[in-house]
């Protein structure tokens, strides 16, 4: 085996690479890009390609507007747009959560969404200042292993009890967890939230992502976890619903653990095609796509949900305006103080 690799000399490998040089410079820097920019819609998407490319392709098919999509982590893209400032090539920022959109809106980098588009969605799911609009809804759920959890907790605060020590998975660096803690802070107060977080320091096993928590509950590493509902459906689609070992459920009585959040869009540039894209995402067919393909809640009237959870207005969710969830740095201070990040 080693003999073989001796023959594959470094010089040859590099010679091939140099040939590649020409190819890259051609593909990367054609001046024609500049001309195309005017007619091409550039979308920065913090939502995964696997989840949204289809709906973007449908948009192009319907409108004939060419689209370039830049996929990366939502927070990284928000940071990127913040650094680009007024010179951002982005027309649209499609975000996984409201927090990232809020940070751009605060920095004055988002243009107002036309009122007729804002009117399509219940006002609680869009920015108060009208700078971004919710596209699809998701709720926080308790993911649990029915063999290990026989008595379901009534409230997320029950998880602070000693009987939960070492049994619950959370993702303290994850944006949706942080939004939920912000809601807890706003509704229940700093002190109660800090106590809960400190209890989590003892009781919880920490993960980086929602998906990793679900994986851990499925494999029996932890007994339960706090996640967004659609992770469970996505996993069910991959392995078959009948093969899912875990279940999802909600807490009782408008518990803060049942927070409703949204994925949304903001316009960095209010060109006609950018508006057209937002309009498309709020159309019947795009909303149906999110309901069936990503197992989320559609937000416009007249599109039914596909998942078996209660309808969005029947979810025992806390009464809170999503725009009140922008005080993230105070939340992070609490999470840090509790020693979770």
Partner 1 sequence: MRRPPFLVVALSLGATLFASLPIGYLAIRFIEGLDKALDEVFRLRTLELLGNTGLLVLSVSISAFVIGFSQAWLTTRSNIRFASVFAVLAALPLAIPSYVMALGYISVFPTFSGFFASWLVLTLATSPYVFLAVTASLVRVDTAGEEVARSLGFGRLSVLRKITWPQVAPAATASVLLVALYTLSEFGAIAILRYDTFTRAIFNAYRGSFDRTAAAALAIVLLLITLLVIWLERRYRGANISSSRALGKRVRIDLGNWSWLALPILALVAALGVGLPIVSLIIWSILGGSSINWDQLLEALWGSFSLAGLAGVIIGIFATAIAFWAFRYRTKLGAFIETLSWATHALPAIVVGLALVFFGANITPWIYQTTWLLLIGYLILFLPNALAAISSPVARVPRSLEDLSQSLGTPANRTLFKIVLPIAMPGIIAGMALVSLTVLKELPATLLLRPTEVDTLATRLWTATETLSYSQAAPYAMLLIMLAGLPALALNAQARRAISEVREK
246 C-beta neighbours (distance < 10 Å), count: 25
Q: Is 109 in the site for partner 1 (CB under 8 A)?
A: no
| Strands (E) located in 132-259 | 132-144, 168-170, 204-206, 224-228, 247-249
What helix, strand, coil percent values describe the chain, rounded to 5? Answer: 50, 15, 35
C-beta separation of 92 from 278 below 8 A: yes
List 55, 56, 78, 204, residue binding partner 1 (CB under 8 A)? 78
Written as six digits, the tokens of 58 are 């449908």
Query: What does the alpha-carbon distance between residue 177 and residue 212 come to, in Å, rounded to a whole number?
Result: 13
Q: Is 272 in the site for partner 1 (CB under 8 A)?
A: no
* Minimum distance from residue 162 beta carbon to partner 1 (Å): 21
For the chain, report the end-to-end CA distance as a whole number of angstroms.
Answer: 47
Q: Which stretch binds partner 1 (CB under 8 A): 95-103, 122-130, 182-190, 278-286?
A: 95-103
Nearest 5°: phi and psi at 317? -90, 155
Residue with Cβ nearer partner 1 (154 or 219): 219
Question: Who's near 33: CB < 8 A, 6+ residues apart?
Answer: none
Residue with Cβ nearer partner 1 (158 or 190): 190
Q: Is 194 in the site for partner 1 (CB under 8 A)?
A: no
List 60, 63, 69, 254, residue binding partner 1 (CB under 8 A)? 69
Q: Is 252 in the site for partner 1 (CB under 8 A)?
A: no
List 187, 206, 244, 306, residue binding partner 1 (CB under 8 A)? 206
Return residues touching partner 1 (CB under 8 A).
1-2, 5-6, 8-11, 13-14, 16-18, 20-21, 23-25, 27-29, 42, 48-51, 68-73, 75-76, 78-80, 82-85, 87-89, 99-100, 103, 173, 175, 178, 205-209, 211-212, 214-216, 219, 221, 234-235, 238, 328-329, 332, 336, 341
């Amino acid at each position: 085996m080693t003999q073989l690799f001796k023959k594959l000399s470094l010089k040859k490998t590099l010679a091939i690479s140099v040939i590649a040089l020409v190819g890259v410079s051609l593909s990367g820097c054609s001046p024609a890009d500049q001309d195309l920019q005017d007619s091409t819609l550039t979308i920065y998407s913090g939502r995964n390609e696997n989840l949204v490319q289809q709906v973007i392709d449908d948009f192009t098919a319907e409108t004939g507007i060419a689209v370039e999509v830049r996929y990366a982590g939502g927070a990284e893209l928000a940071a990127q747009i913040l650094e680009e400032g007024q010179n951002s090539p982005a027309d649209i920022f499609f975000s996984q959560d409201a927090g990232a959109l809020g940070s751009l809106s605060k920095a004055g980098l988002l243009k107002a969404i036309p009122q007729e588009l804002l009117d399509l969605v219940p006002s609680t799911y869009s920015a108060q200042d009208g700078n971004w609009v919710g596209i699809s809804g998701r709720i926080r759920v308790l993911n649990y292993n029915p063999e290990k959890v026989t008595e379901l907790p009534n409230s997320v605060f029950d998880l602070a009890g000693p009987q939960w020590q070492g049994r619950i998975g959370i993702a303290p660096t994850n944006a949706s967890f942080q939004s939920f803690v912000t809601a807890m802070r706003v509704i229940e107060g700093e002190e109660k939230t800090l106590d809960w977080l400190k209890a989590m320091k003892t009781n919880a096993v920490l993960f980086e992502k929602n998906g990793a928590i679900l994986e851990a509950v499925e494999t029996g590493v932890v007994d339960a976890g706090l996640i967004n509902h659609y992770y469970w459906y996505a996993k069910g689609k991959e392995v078959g619903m009948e093969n899912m070992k875990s279940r999802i459920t909600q807490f009782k009585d408008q518990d803060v653990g049942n927070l409703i959040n949204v994925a949304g869009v903001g316009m960095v540039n209010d060109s006609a095609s950018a508006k057209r894209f937002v309009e498309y995402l709020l159309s019947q067919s795009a909303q149906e796509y999110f309901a069936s393909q990503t197992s989320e809640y559609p937000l416009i009237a007249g599109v039914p949900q596909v998942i078996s959870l209660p309808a969005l207005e029947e979810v025992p969710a806390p009464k809170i305006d999503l725009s009140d969830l922008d005080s993230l740095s105070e939340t992070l201070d609490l999470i840090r103080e509790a020693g979770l990040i």
